[in-house]
Amino acid sequence: MVKSSREPFVLGKTTIAPGTHATIDLPLSLLSDHTPITLTVQVKHGKQPGPTLLVNGAVHGDEVNGVEIIRRVLRHSAIKHMSGTLIAVPIVNVYGFLTNVRYLPDRRDLNRSFPGSPKGSLASRLAHLYMTKVVAKSTHGIDLHTAAIHRSNFPQIRCDLSNPDARAMAMSFGVPVVLNAALREGSLRKAAIDAGIPFLVYEAGEALRFDEVSIRAGIQGIIRVMGDLGMIRQRRRDEAPAYPVISRSSFWVRAPEGGIFRARAKLGARVFAGNHLGTIASPFGDSEFPIECPTDGIVIGRNNLPNVNQGDGIFNIARVDDPEAAAEAIDVFQEDWEQD
């Protein structure tokens, strides 16, 4: 057997030889009852050189789709003989995941705490450890998210399209909508970009629920990105379809008054200015208020709760340059993924 001349990969105190994989537990802290908490990282180090792709989920502890996406990617036959290195972290916010909540015990949002500090709050310390021990070892990254609790997102990529590497990854991922999203202070994506690492955010589904279409599209997207980066051999069926449509901005249609909300427009729907999106009604049946779309676009997010207050975001609309192409892209995507 010819040995690989590639250098081993080192993460924490663990050394991973070429052609092998390892599970590494990075110590985080002790809970108040003295239970140790660790950040678990799976590394697959290929025999041949190539990029180091980081894929992580559950930066928000209640966003569980990413956990299942990563679990299935690690079992995918396409990565068996991969080049480069895959770093997989299914659960970044371990604290929130264990209690089914978005935040950490200190009520801070981990995705507003990067790059963190070794002497800061619990969220800041976790962010610092993750940036220095894990993110810094990567050359590219994908951050898996869902909508916040009681909301759903249509599968979409968010990235800084001015970054050519991030743009290429976004277009190869293969979901129908790519949103040119500004870098938000404190987010993992901004901290990674500031460190010179192109990073995508994949948004799909809802918190605390598995959504099979979102999961399967996420798996295929990661495999496509790995193929585009030269980490795996790209099969014809894995090639990115020609349908990603770019959106330069999005906005929330907000409830003009409180009441009982009934949605009419579905996720992925093409809507026009003046279209009826839904209704807010009095619980006593004496009034109904129609919700009209203020401009043309695509529904990429929606509130799931029937009871809403004035000002609540109820529909997230993406503006697109070519609505016809967007509608066609979404139709093709839904035909591909929503068949039983």
pLDDT at 337: 77
As a whole number, mean pLDDT of residues 84-96 equals 99
**Quick one: pLDDT band at residue 235, thresholds 50, 70, 90?**
confident
Domains of the chain by start residue, with CATH: 9-240 (3.40.630.10), 252-337 (2.40.50.100)
Q: Is the dihedral of CA 293, 294, 299, 305 positive or negative?
A: negative
| Among 139, 68, 118, residue whose Cα is nearest residue 97 | 68
The DSSP secondary structure of 125-178, one letter per residue, reads HHHHHHHHHTGGG-SEEEEEE-PPTTEEEEEEEEE-TTSHHHHHHHHHH--SEE
Q: Does residue 322 surpass a pLDDT of 90? A: no
Q: Does residue 1 surpass a pLDDT of 50? A: no
Q: Does residue 237 surpass a pLDDT of 90? A: no
pLDDT at 246: 92
As a whole number, mean pLDDT of residues 256-267 equals 96
As a whole number, mean pLDDT of residues 87-101 equals 98
Share of the chain above pLDDT 90, in %: 87
Other residues' Cβ atoms within 10 Å of the Cβ of residue 38: 12
Q: Does residue 3 surpass a pLDDT of 80? A: no
pLDDT at 146: 99
pLDDT at 198: 98
- Kindly report the length of the chain: 340
**Quick one: pLDDT band at residue 340, thresholds 50, 70, 90?**
very low
Q: What is the mean pLDDT of the chain?
A: 94
Query: pLDDT tens-digit profile of 123-140?
Result: 999 999 999 999 999 999
**Quick one: pLDDT band at residue 238, thresholds 50, 70, 90?**
low
pTM of the model as a whole: 0.95
